[in-house]
Structure 1
Amino acid sequence: MEHPILFISLILELLGLPVPHTPIGHTFLEKLCAPYMTYTWMVMAFLIIVPKLTLGKMEMIPGSGQNFWEVTIGGLMGACTDTLGEKGAKMLFPMLATFFFYIVVSNLIGVIPGFLSPTSSLNITLAMTLIVWVTHHFLGFKYHGLKYYKHFMGPSKVLAPFMFIIELISNFARLISLSMRLFGNIFAKEVLLTVLFMLAGAYFAPLPILALGVLVSVIQGVVFVMLAMIYCAGAMEEAH
């Protein structure tokens, strides 16, 4: 089966690099040039270059670019502070803000015909979920030591053994739910847009789905980061 016609495929061909014929490819170089990897690098470059171009020199009377970043960063910081407290927000904000901007930009570029959302790959969403999962357990042990086990025991000593098993299953299920929610929504958006472009043409017919895709792209970024904040806040608070 031939590889999909993607914008990044044309760049790889011009550079003389292999274009994988499967989502991952076979050789090590093909894996590095897989669409979800190369589009990830593109998103990273976008997130480094665009803020520098739009911010420029910080002004007392901000321009439109500085206004946008101040409102966005301020809103994210406010949400983090409300959920995690001031100390937790300062500690986790760089990671959570990075996830938010990466997910939103990754989701949105898939709306452009010929582009692919890196978040439509389970490899990407599962990797981010693993970071969140490991981080919130690390915080649990950091704040409570070995007493962190109380978070898994429930309020009743009689039901504690059963609650421990249920809580363990529930906790490991976060790896599936958090990664699959983002992957499933974005992958479905990609498939739906592809089908519409093939059946209805590349003009007005797909526009409603494109608008819905933009909304879903932003919402999924917010949901992922909010759940990550809730998991971390739950791990840091005292068990009751």
Structure 2
Amino acid sequence: MAYDTTQDYINHHLTNAAMCSTENGIAFNKACADAGFWQWNVDTLAWSIGLGLLFIFIFRRVAKKATTGVPGKTQAFVEMVFEFVDDNVKSSFHGKSKLIAPLALTIFVWVLLMNLMDLVPVDLLPWIAGLIGQHAFGMDPADVYMKVVPTTSLNVTFALSIGVFVLIIFYSLKTKGVVGFTKELTLQPLPHWSMIPFNFVIELVTLLARPLSLSLRLFGNLYASELIFILIATIGFFQLPVHFVWAAFHLLILPLQAFIFMMLTIVYLSMATEEH
């Protein structure tokens, strides 16, 4: 696929495959620009759901076939990940809940799988999508979009963080009750009735900053990473050495971002279950 300018190339790779509803029916991509607020980024949905199902399939398959003898490579890897997450939950979560460990495992593996899509060559999957659109649907490849890293979308990172935020509120109310949670928001850090407005503003900002920081941290790191991979791809034939160096660096960064998201989730939920 030929692009007129480098900017066109970058914009194409950073554009989602969008679907929306209009007065004339279902519209796609450019036709969604003026359709209003609601649209579905079908590539983000497909890759995030698909990777989530892949996680469930692998771990369920390993659990059903697990043996007590010498484990195979896949079982050993799954057990290593499970023990890693379990150790971090035990050391960081001070309450009692059967949900936290499975939640932490799901967040870590799912976010990691979505992050790892950043290592796929940036032109490969969009090129395949363009061929499918051209030969199966008669579309111009320039009008076929495919953004393959779900965590470079604010929709995904905010959805994850909002889910965590709902659990924070749930555990806060469950542990402290409505009265206790209200006191936590209004009587600290300055425990005097005259400081209630000041305390409430400070604590509300702190509470809302948790999901905001969770989502923006993950999004910012992955979006910047994807953009750098795209810029490297514009070099042409000489991109390979630079690409491999940047990819090798990401073998540390991508798991680290999944780990940070998981750990902050555990810490925030642990704070929500502390009665004091």
Q: Tell me which interval the TM-score lies in, with the shorter structure as reference length.
A: 0.7 to 0.9
1:51 Cα deviation after fit: 3.2
Structure 2 Cα separation of the partners of residues 200 and 188 of structure 1: 20
Q: Note the 1:107-186 alignment, pairs <5 A.
A: 107-113=115-121, 114=124, 116-145=148-177, 146-152=179-185, 153-158=187-192, 159-186=195-222
- Structure with bigger gyration radius: 2
- CA shift in 2, pair 1:40/1:19, >3 Å: farther
Please give the secondary structure, in 2, of the residue aligned with 1:199: coil
- TM-score where L is the length of structure 1: 0.82
- TM-score where L is the length of structure 2: 0.72
2:234 maps to amino acid: M
- CA shift in 2, pair 1:56/1:233, >3 Å: closer
Q: Note the 1:60-75 alignment, pairs <5 A.
A: 60-61=68-69, 62-75=71-84
Contact conserved, 2:48 with 2:150, CA < 8 A, in 1? yes
Structure 2 Cα separation of the partners of residues 107 and 64 of structure 1: 22
Gaps (5+ residues) in structure 2? Answer: 1-7, 18-25, 126-147
Q: CA RMSD in A?
A: 3.0
Structure 1 Cα separation of the partners of residues 249 and 50 of structure 2: 23
Are 2:222 and 1:190 equivalent residues in the alignment? no
- What is the aligned residue count? 228
- CA shift in 2, pair 1:5/1:172, >3 Å: closer
1:164 Cα deviation after fit: 2.3
2:96 maps to amino acid: K
Q: Where has structure 1 moved over 6 Å in runs of 4 or more?
A: 24-27
Match of 1:105 among 91, 109, 113: 113
Q: Which region of structure 1 is more displaced relative to structure 2, 223-232 or 45-54?
A: 45-54
Gaps (5+ residues) in structure 1? Answer: 10-16
Q: Which residue of 2 aligns with 1:13?
A: none
1:84 Cα deviation after fit: 1.5
Contact conserved, 1:84 with 1:229, CA < 8 A, in 2? yes
Structure 1 Cα separation of the partners of residues 150 and 83 of structure 2: 26
Percent of aligned pairs sharing the same letter: 26
